[in-house]
C-alpha cells in the first residue's frame, strides 16, 4: 500500500510529490505555525521551509493512510547564524489522535553539540536519531558548518518481531551503496522514552531553543515505505539521484 499524503493530488510521498520541487509541496497539505516561513532556494522556482522560532508543531502533515511498516526518511538540512548547545530541529512521526505529544516519539534531526548546553562542550556532534524521550544517539563527525547543505537518510522499522517501532538507523550524506543495502548506519537508536508507537498517521517538525538570529531550514522531504527486496536496488539508485546537492561524507 503506497504511503500517501493529504496534498492536492493525494500522490505518494516520493521524489515527485514532496521533494520541495514545487511550492505547493509545502503550501498544500502542511500546517505551519508562525515560526515557519517559505523561502527560495538556489534552485529556480524551488522553496524550502525555514524556522526562526520554537514550536512542538512548527509544521506537520496528516497522511492519507496510517502506516505500520518500515519506512525510509530522506531530507536536506542547513542552518545560518550562531549555534548554541541544544539548538533543535526534529522531524517526528506520530499520531493525530495524540498530536500534542506526537513529537515525543521517533524523531531525527539537529540537536547541537549532543544537546549539551555548556559553552565549552567537548561534544560537537549536531545530528541525532531517537525512538523517543529527550536525549538521542548522535552521528559522529556531524559538526555542522553554517550555510552548508546536508542530507539525512534514515530507516524506521520494527525488528525481532516487535509490535512497536524499535529500530531507527540514520546516515549522514549516504553513499549509493548505503541507500541500496540499508547497512552500516552512522547512528542507531535504541528504544527509550515512554511513548512507543505501533503505527503513525502524521509527520511533523519540532523546533526548540532556536534564538539569537539562528534560522534552520529543511527541504527535499521524502518519506516512503520500504520497497520489496526485488525493487530495493532501483529505489536506492533513485534516491541517490536526489543527492546531487550534497557533499561526500567526511573521511
Sketch the domain layout of the chain as residue ranges: 24-245
Give which of 131, 135, 106, 149 is closest to 20, Cα–Cα.
Answer: 149
- Lowest model confidence (mean pLDDT) among 81-95, 216-230, 235-249: 235-249
Three cell numbers written together for 222: 521524502
pLDDT digits 0-9 by tens, 54-88: 999 998 888 878 899 999 999 999 999 999 899 99
pTM: 0.82
Burial of 227 (0-12, 13-18, 19+ CB in 10 A): middle
Residue 246: all three cell numbers together: 550534497
Q: Tell me the C-alpha distance between 116 and 107, whole Å.
A: 18
Nearest-angstrom CA–CA distance, 24 and 32:
13
Out of 3.40.50.620, 2.60.120.200, 2.40.160.20, 1.20.210.10, which CATH number does the structure's domain 24-245 have? 2.60.120.200
Amino acid at each position: 500500500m503506497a504511503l500517501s499524503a493529504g496534498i492536492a493530488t493525494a500522490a505518494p510521498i516520493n521524489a515527485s510529490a514532496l521533494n520541495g520541487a514545487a511550492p505547493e509541496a509545502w503550501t498544500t497539505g502542511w500546517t505551519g505555525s508562525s515560526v515557519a516561513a517559505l523561502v527560495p532556494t538556489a534552485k529556480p522556482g524551488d522553496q524550502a521551509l525555514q524556522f526562526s522560532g520554537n514550536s512542538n508543531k512548527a509544521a506537520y502533515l496528516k497522511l492519507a493512510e496510517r502506516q505500520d511498516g518500515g519506512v525510509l526518511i530522506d531530507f536536506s538540512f542547513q542552518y545560518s547564524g550562531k549555534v548554541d548547545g541544544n539548538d533543535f530541529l526534529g522531524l517526528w512521526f506520530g499520531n493525530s489522535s495524540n498530536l500534542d505529544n506526537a513529537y515525543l516519539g521517533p524523531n531525527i534531526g539537529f540537536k547541537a553539540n549532543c544537546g549539551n548546553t555548556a559553552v565549552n562542550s567537548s561534544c560537537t556532534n549536531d545530528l541525532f536519531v531517537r525512538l523517543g524521550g529527550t536525549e538521542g544517539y548522535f552521528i559522529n563527525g556531524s559538526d555542522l558548518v553554517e550555510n552548508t547543505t546536508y542530507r539525512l537518510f534514515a530507516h524506521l522499522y520494527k525488528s525481532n518481531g516487535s509490535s512497536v517501532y524499535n529500530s531507527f538507523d540514520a546516515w549522514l550524506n549516504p553513499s549509493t551503496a548505503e541507500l541500496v543495502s540499508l547497512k552500516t548506519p552512522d547512528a542507531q537508536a535504541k528504544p527509550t522514552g515512554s511513548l512507543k508507537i505501533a503505527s503513525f498517521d502524521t509527520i511533523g517538525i519540532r523546533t526548540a531553543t532556536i534564538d539569537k538570529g539562528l534560522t534552520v531550514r529543511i527541504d527535499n522531504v521524502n518519506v516512503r515505505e520500504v520497497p520489496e527486496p526485488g525493487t530495493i536496488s532501483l529505489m536506492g539508485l533513485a534516491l541517490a539521484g536526489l543527492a546531487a546537492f550534497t557533499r561526500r561524507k567526511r573521511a
